[in-house]
Amino acid sequence: MSEGSVFWLLAGGMLVLALVFMLAPLFRIPRRALARAEYDLAIYRDQLRELEEEIAQGSIDEEVAERARNEIARRILAADAARKQAREQLTAGGGKSVILATLMALGASGLAIFLYLQLGQPGRPDMPLEKRLANAARNNDLAALVKRAEQRLAKNPDDLRGWLALAPVYEQMGQMDKAVEAWRNAIRLTKKPSAELYNAYGEALVRLSQGRIPTEAVKAFSKALELVPGNPMSRYYLAMADLQAGRREAAYKKLKKLLDDLPSDVPARAIIARQVAQLAQALGKKPEEPSTTARTPKPNGAATAATTPANSPRMAQAEPSQAGPSAQAVRERMKAMQEMSPQQRMEMIRNMVEGLDERLKDDPSDLSGWLRLIRARMVLGERDKARTALENARRAFAGKAEALSRLDALAGRLGLKE
Amino acid sequence: MIVELGHFALVLALAVALYQTVVPLYGAHKNDARLMSLAAPAAVAQFLLVAFAFAALVHAYVYSDFSVLNVWQNSHSAKPFIYKITGTWANHEGSMLLWVLILALFTLAIALFSGNLPLSLKARALGVQGSISSAFLLYIVTVSSPFVRIPPDRVPLEGQGMNPLLQDPALALHPPMLYAGYVGFSVAFAFAIAALMEGRVDSAWGRWVRPWTLAAWTFLTAGIALGSWWAYYELGWGGWWFWDPVENASFMPWLAGTALLHSAIVVEKRNALKTWTVLLALIAFSFSLIGTFLVRSGVLSSVHAFAVDPERGSFILAILAFFIGGSLFLYALRANTLKIEGRFAPLSREGALVLNNVLLSAATAAVFIGTLFPLIYEAATGGGKITVGAPYFNLTFGTLIIPLLIILPVGPLLAWKKADVKAALSRMKASMALTALAFVLSLVVLNASIRAAGGIALGVWLVAGALEEWAGRVMLFRAPFKVTWKRITSMPGSMWAMTLAHAGVGLVVLGIVISTAWKEERIVALQPGGKVQIAGFEVIYKGMRKATGPNYLAEQGLFEIYRNGKKVGEEISEKRTFLGRRSMPTTEVALMHYTLGDLYIAIGDETKMGRTVRVYFQPMIYLLWLGALFMAIGGFVGLLDGRFRVGVAERTESRLAAQPAE
């Protein structure tokens, strides 16, 4: 039987029961009804009895008692007279009243059904929390799944995997306070937390304070930088922290260096380039040409358009103000990145690097490509792969002195030379 | 499914209530016994349906069914079980349903325990109860339904939590008690309307009305006392009564109900004061309705709140206009049909009770004006704010109530019809002596002001007067002990009730006067290790710590209490922040009871100077609640008086002139 029909069965039962209560007395042989005076008499008799008790007890004096007795006696006489008169007044009510009452009861039932159909949701099941949680997986109920994971973690707060699973979900749901807590717990429970973990924690803290970089976040990014020297995310946020603290010179240097180290097709470049340009302007420096090693296209005219200081560390929030097609593309990519978890973001960067690697295998004559790849490998902390790339590049440009010297220069800067 | 069945039951209850209104009243009008006899079973059905609907809502709360809008708005899955249940009525929709449930319960009680009632009076009373039920059920079903559901795909996982201030044991009991009081007066109201319809109020009527009135009054007394006790320890201001409109809203029906309680005695014993009594019955319930309206419509915080939700506000206003206006109109039409009997001299117990009625009614009016004036002012000036504070109430209410309290102990000694005041006073010699002694001692030994000394004397006069009247009644020390003992054991419940309640009033007066006159208060900023001296105690602040409750986080201030260099206690004063609601944290004060009074510590915010700490010493403030307890116990004892169980009319003497069925 469906929920709906069970509901109507029960509701119908309720209705029938109510009708029984409303109408049953009609079908009983009418009880003898008593006149009002009979009830009055009962009361006055009680009063008289109480009075006698009080007299017997001696709690009222003779004179008062006598007065009261007379008064009650008068009431009794009056009630008795009224009773004789009233005897014939009360009627049992005939068939007419049966019909009237039945119609009224049926009308009331009709009204109830009509009103309920207007206001209720017949047969809609209950949704108690426990039951909902129990069925979360089956119903693909994401919110309930999170809640369940939370309940498990409340019981066992040392479940690393639970925290790691929840943290990105919280970020996605915009509950940054919980995300921060989750990352913090994950770090607490990991023996040797990775740079990624620290970065994720730091970034969640930044998002929680809506762009400000709190001390706690600076600590996290510094830790990540220690673990993987040169990783761009930590460097970017630390530069931003400098900027927010008013150390513009230091911020400028860090950002500039970061820009130089980033492969040219990393989408965030455009933003960073703009910030560098703005800072340069603000500090009264000549906007330098992009370093020769990083052969980047002009950063979408951003440098000229940026008039406001880029004080937001959220890469994606810094929208290029020129709406050229490529700016649009960057923005979309940034937006896509913003919606990713830090892991996903790293994944995306890694994919781009792998793509570059593949391309250079097919076309090894692209010097700037090689330079970018080597730098990116270093940024990702893949020292060995960077060294392999360097060797491959040397082989590709064997005999070309100029190219080799540039490769050597980069290797020297990145500490790849033995 | 249970939610929907509850909703259906509620709607069906409305239909049954309409039936219960129309059929018996028509039957009584036609003098048709068959139709009149339909009232009681309909009342039973209505109660069962409302109870089912209420249980369905409680079920949804207990199982955190957030598909119900009301549950989502007012509950949280981490709440302790008890507050999941009480959360049901800690919000507008649920509390209105509780109101109707209690109304249905009283109606059921009339239906079941009225074998001693004439059929027409019973049918009319149940019909009137049905009409009140219909109005409120219609209100609930149409504009204030607790069964509104959230669409299935948007059901949240966690509720918004219950107002943290209300997560408290006293407040769990307070609303049901208060409502039992408010709604209890509906019975007196229904009987009064029925009597006006029949044009008959007599001694028998007084006897039927009295127990219901007493029950309502007892609940209301307990409810108000719980409310003020809660305000005392939960709000952390060290006060217990603020002449706040919400408090006044419950105090007005209590004052009117107290007058009604006494007036009904006169109707029963002397068949007099009928118009007074009927009017008081109408007024007591009218104030109950107004109290419900004031608190529930949000009109108190501002007239604007009313404008925010005009649908509900106007609906309740219409209900008020119908029942208050309608009943007073009926009174104006029919009051002159009540025969004036039972004559009495001005100086008599009746006369004293008339004075009691007049003073209590005037006091009610004073509170009423003070409560409503700011609202009227705001509405009239288009948003102007004005507050009527404690000085107004203390002056007007005090002026009216003090003469009443002075004559109170004498009243029970006056004879019915015509009294000898001199003889009555001569039976109060001991009380008078004690009162004078209390006055002088307060002035000389305690260094009290004239006002405080007068207040203490008044309290002593009330307590001593009640005891002396009781002693005279049982002939204490004037008769052999055996006689006295017999009199004590055979004293009817209503006499005990009077003695307890009147002495209770005296204790309340003493509690108010002493705690106001000798209250000590220190507000300081303390660093850990800091000390406060108060009333011979030394309070040392040890510092703060954090704690977690089932659904809240707490900051706990730790204190050590010393007296005469000896440690007498360690106490914790808390601030709690509850889950689900980002609201003001609640205070849990540290409260220590000593013979001389309460030591009361509340923590405030952390400042540069240290933690703000408020320490109060409230001398003998417990007398206040002890007095209220005496009154409530008195009411309860009075209800047990066997004499209220009126004998059932005998059924042998008259025959029914039955019409043959057509």
Nearest to B614 by CA among B218, B203, B239: B239
**B488 exposure class (CB count in 10 Å sphere: 0-12, 13-18, 19+):** middle
Helix or strand (DSSP H, E) at B547: strand B537-548
Chain B CA closest to residue A21: B41
Contact call for B19 and A22, based on CB within 8 A: yes
Residues of chain B with pLDDT under 50: 650-662
A143-156 in b/e form (b: 16+ CB < 10 A) is bbbbbbbbeebeee
- A 179-218 residues with CB below 8 A of B? none
Contact call for A3 and B1, based on CB within 8 A: yes
What residues pair up with B533 in beta bridges, in sequence order? B538
Contact call for B116 and A26, based on CB within 8 A: no
Q: Is the dihedral of CA A183, A188, A190, A194 positive or negative?
A: positive
Domain boundaries, chain B: 1-160, 168-412, 413-518+623-632, 520-619
Q: Is the dihedral of CA A34, A38, A43, A46 positive or negative?
A: negative
Residues of A in contact with B6 (CB under 8 A): none
Under DSSP, is residue B606 helix (H, G, I), strand (E, B) or coil? strand
Residues of B in contact with A40 (CB under 8 A): 118, 202, 204
Residue A172 C-alpha, separation from nearest chain B C-alpha, in angstroms: 17
Chain B CA closest to residue A83: B654
B166-201 in b/e form (b: 16+ CB < 10 A) is bbbebbbbbbbbbbbbbbbbbbbbbbbbbbbbbebb
Q: Is the Cβ–Cβ distance between B164 and B578 less than 8 Å?
A: yes
User: Looking at the predicted complex, does its ipTM rise above 0.90?
Assistant: no
Phi, psi at residue B208, to the nearest 5°?
A: -70, -35
Residue A201 C-alpha, separation from nearest chain B C-alpha, in angstroms: 24
- B 459-518 residues with CB below 8 A of A? 473, 487, 490
Residue B209 C-alpha, separation from nearest chain A C-alpha, in angstroms: 13
Taking the C-alpha atoms of residue A124 and residue A7, their distance in angstroms, rounded to an integer, is 9
Specify the pLDDT at position B302. Answer: 54
Specify the pLDDT at position B9. Answer: 96
Residue A129 C-alpha, separation from nearest chain B C-alpha, in angstroms: 6
Specify the pLDDT at position B331. Answer: 92
| Closest partner CB to B204 (pick from A7, A43, A143) | A43
B203 in reach of chain A (CB within 8 A): yes
Specify the pLDDT at position A34. Answer: 66
Chains A and B form CB pairs within 8 A to the count of 257
DSSP assignment, residue B68? B
Contact call for A33 and B119, based on CB within 8 A: yes
Nearest to A176 by CA among A188, A166, A186: A166
DSSP assignment, residue B309? S
Contact call for A38 and B654, based on CB within 8 A: yes
Taking the C-alpha atoms of residue B53 and residue B12, their distance in angstroms, rounded to an integer, is 10
Residue A94 C-alpha, separation from nearest chain B C-alpha, in angstroms: 5
B41 in reach of chain A (CB within 8 A): yes
A144 in reach of chain B (CB within 8 A): yes
Specify the pLDDT at position A91. Answer: 59
Taking the C-alpha atoms of residue A179 and residue A204, their distance in angstroms, rounded to an integer, is 7
Residue A52 C-alpha, separation from nearest chain B C-alpha, in angstroms: 13
Nearest to B354 by CA among B371, B338, B342: B342
Chain B CA closest to residue A50: B643
CATH number for the domain whose boundaries are B1-160: 1.20.120
For chain B, how far is it from start to end, CA to CA, in angstroms?
45
Contact call for A92 and B657, based on CB within 8 A: yes
3-state SS track over chain A: CCHHHHHHHHHHHHHHHHHHHHHHHHHCCCCCCCCHHHHHHHHHHHHHHHHHHHHHHCCCCHHHHHHHHHHHHHHHHHHHHHHHHHCCCCECCCHHHHHHHHHHHHHHHHHHHHHHHHHCCCCCCCCEHHHHHHCHHHHCCHHHHHHHHHHHHHHCCCCHHHHHHHHHHHHHHCCHHHHHHHHHHHHHHCCCCCHHHHHHHHHHHHHHCCCCCCHHHHHHHHHHHHHCCCCHHHHHHHHHHHHHCCCHHHHHHHHHHHHHHCCCCCCHHHHHHHHHHHHHHHCCCCCCCCCCCCCCCCCCCHHHHCCCCCCCCCHHHCCCCCCCHHHHHHHHHHHHHHCCCHHHHHHHHHHHHHHHHHHHHHCCCCHHHHHHHHHHHHHCCCHHHHHHHHHHHHHHCCCCHHHHHHHHHHHHHHCCCC
**B507 exposure class (CB count in 10 Å sphere: 0-12, 13-18, 19+):** buried
Chain centroid, CA A413 distance in Å: 45
Taking the C-alpha atoms of residue B541 and residue B570, their distance in angstroms, rounded to an integer, is 10
Instruction: Calculate Rg over the CA atoms of chain B.
Output: 27
Place of tokens 């040169």: A230
Q: Is the Cβ–Cβ distance between A240 and A203 less than 8 Å?
A: no
Taking the C-alpha atoms of residue A174 and residue A181, their distance in angstroms, rounded to an integer, is 13
Name residue B433's amino acid: A
- B 375-414 residues with CB below 8 A of A? none
For B362-413, the pLDDT digits (tens) are 999 999 998 888 878 877 887 777 777 788 888 999 899 999 999 999 988 8
Helices (H), B113-168: 119-143
Concatenated DSSP letters for B293-304? HHHHHSTTT-HH
Phi, psi at residue A294, to the nearest 5°?
A: -95, 100
Nearest to A224 by CA among A29, A380, A418: A380
Q: Average pLDDT for consecutive 10-residue bins of chain A (418 residues)? A: 85 94 77 69 81 74 79 82 65 75 92 93 86 75 78 83 84 83 88 88 87 88 88 88 86 86 77 82 67 40 33 35 41 57 67 79 81 80 82 84 83 73
Helices (H), B298-348: 303-308, 310-320, 326-334
Specify the pLDDT at position B636. Answer: 93
Concatenated DSSP letters for B8-41? HHHHHHHHHHHHHHHHHHHHHHHTBHHHHTTHHH
B338 in reach of chain A (CB within 8 A): no
| Helices and strands, number each (H, E), in chain B | 22, 9
Under DSSP, is residue B540 helix (H, G, I), strand (E, B) or coil? strand
Specify the pLDDT at position A272. Answer: 82
